[in-house]
Chain A
Amino acid sequence: MIIKQLSVFLENKLGRLTELTKVLADNDINLSAFSIAEGTDYGIIRCIVGRPELAYKVLREQNFSVKTTDVACLVVPHKPGELHKALEILSKNDISIDYMYAFAADSNAVVVIRSESTEELIRVLQANNFDMLDSGKVYQQ
């Protein structure tokens, strides 16, 4: 259930993001989730891609500063209070969250969660009958 997220350190410079997306496009790598954490002089791109290992390799080759980070993808119904239920359980179990990003469409929402203890987080949520997205559904075949 652990999903490999790619984190890329990018200088805040016009065109730098395009260079990144071009490498992914040229290598037929699909993007499933994408977020930018924005600092004053640099940004951190966090993305979930179809071929994380290939993406890591080609980005390295193009001299991008890239790391893979373990994250969990929680699926909750697109309804008021659903995220709250999950977060309440995590907090009761002393699991803190470093960052998360989410998007909802149709009937479900997917929440990408990064924690120091991702495995524990997945175990707790699954034990409480939360739905987690399997990497098989994200990675390209």
Chain B
Amino acid sequence: MFWNKEIECINRDELEKLQSQRLQSMVQRIYNNVPFYKKKFDELGINPKDITSVKQLSSLPFTYKSDLRDNYPFGLCAVPQQQIVRLHASSGTTGKATVVAYTQNDLDLWTEVIARSYTMAGISNSDTMQVSYGYGLFTGGLGAHYGAEKVGASVIPMSGGNTKKQLQLMEDFGSTVLACTPSYAAFLGESIVSANILDKIKLKIGVFGAEPWTEEMRQYIQNTMNIKAYNIYGLSEIIGPGVSMECECQNGSHIYEDHFIPEIINPETGEVLPEGELGELVFTAITKEALPLLRYRTRDLCTLTYEKCACGRTLARMGRIVGRSDDMLIVRGVNMFPSQVETVLLELPETTPHYAIIVDREGNLDTLEIHVEVAEQYWTDEMKQLDAIKKKITHALSNMLSLNPTVKLVEPNAMQRFEGKAQRVTDRRKL
């Protein structure tokens, strides 16, 4: 099924024309309205009037997550506040959130791409969708919500957590579609099986995203709940979920290239790689009004193919995310950076900035353990004081990360000191 067949099956020459027009106009807008880009263009001697074709994209500068932080909160916005109707935020690298802004047209665009995605998965007004992503600053909940309403599905804005109630409503309201992170989907599936209510559940489709997952995980979820599970990809800096989506062929995710131009680059050199090669995914949001980012470095590693898909779509497809070109971790669907942990520890005199982060998976839920040293002068032989220190560190880390880590105190000077690049993260999950 197609939501917008004209675009989704567009002739690639026509698509290129459309992209070129839109890129041209975007470059003008950011040059005129975002001092950050004007300065960059001027320094590089690029005249925005010279950019007329999408083929020139590789000559333009990149935008990094750190640029959003340095221009926190609204420095990269290309429209005045009066036109901004929504703000979302995700984790930054040192605690300052990455803020993203939307105009009404941006929200409409976001709803359009999610509507295309849900239609691609076979979702229609005959469906009842349980949205079990967190609602709030995170783009997952509200993004899924408006997209599902657009296709006419009955939406249950359930939000995350409260598994017992999730199952109750799923059964009582007859949910046919589930939208959440793949790890929560796996957990819900197990809960359905152990509550022995699989025969009372009407679920047939799952649209899962916000964290990387494997083909094995997909098979597991599909078999546990007897559904078809689709991957949806996105990042808040570009729009949120709905940058790309898998079709029924489940063979790569279609990127909505009429809005987001993808490139795969060598993360070391920045050079654009030939089709099919593994590298870092970069996006240019050519139609966004509030936050039109130019060649944004996603840090996600994958491949691209422009081959026409068996489903009939001509849009480029991206392969599974196989890793990151930075040290970002995704734990229970929440982005986190080791540098956030470091920021917290540096502010607490009771501990040193020497630490270890251990991520594992028990059953299908991620676990996060952080080992911290007690500073020499704070270590006491009284357990209640050490426990108080541990509580204080745990509290500060939970606030920063929006995750509840298990903090483990280790002996002063017990953590390894690194002379070169520190290896502080152990990820035992098999992705």
Contacts and interface: CB of A to CB of B under 8 A. Distances in A.
A9 B374 contact: yes
Interface stretch (B31-39, B376-384, B416-424): B376-384
Nearest to B382: A98
A18 to B, nearest CB: 16
Interface string B377-402: 00111110011000000000000000
A4 interface: no
A10 B379 CA distance: 11
A42 B386 CA distance: 10
Interface stretch (B10-18, B19-27, B198-206, B403-411): B403-411
B413 interface: yes
A99 B411 contact: no
Nearest to A8: B381
Contacts of B338: none
B386 A46 contact: no
Contacts, number: 44
Contact of A65 (B382, B387, B408, B411): B411
Contacts of B383: 37, 39, 44
B61 interface: no
Contacts of A99: 382
Interface residues of B, number: 16
Contacts of A67: 379-381
Interface string A1-36: 000000101110000000000000000000000000
Contacts of B382: 44, 98-99
Contacts of B374: 9, 65
Contacts of A65: 374, 376, 379, 411-413
A9 B387 contact: no
B414 interface: yes
A11 B410 contact: yes
Contact of B381 (A11, A41, A46, A64): A46
A117 to B, nearest CB: 15
Contact of A11 (B379, B387, B414): B414
A65 B376 CA distance: 8
Given A44-B381, A65-B376, A69-B381, A39 B386 contact: yes
Q: Can you list the 10 inter-chain pairs with the closest CB atoms, starting with the nearest?
A: A7-B381, A41-B408, A65-B411, A65-B412, A37-B383, A9-B411, A44-B381, A42-B409, A69-B381, A11-B410
9 contacts: A37-B383, A39-B409, A42-B410, A44-B382, A44-B383, A64-B411, A65-B411, A67-B379, A67-B380
Interface of B: 374, 376, 379-383, 386-387, 408-414
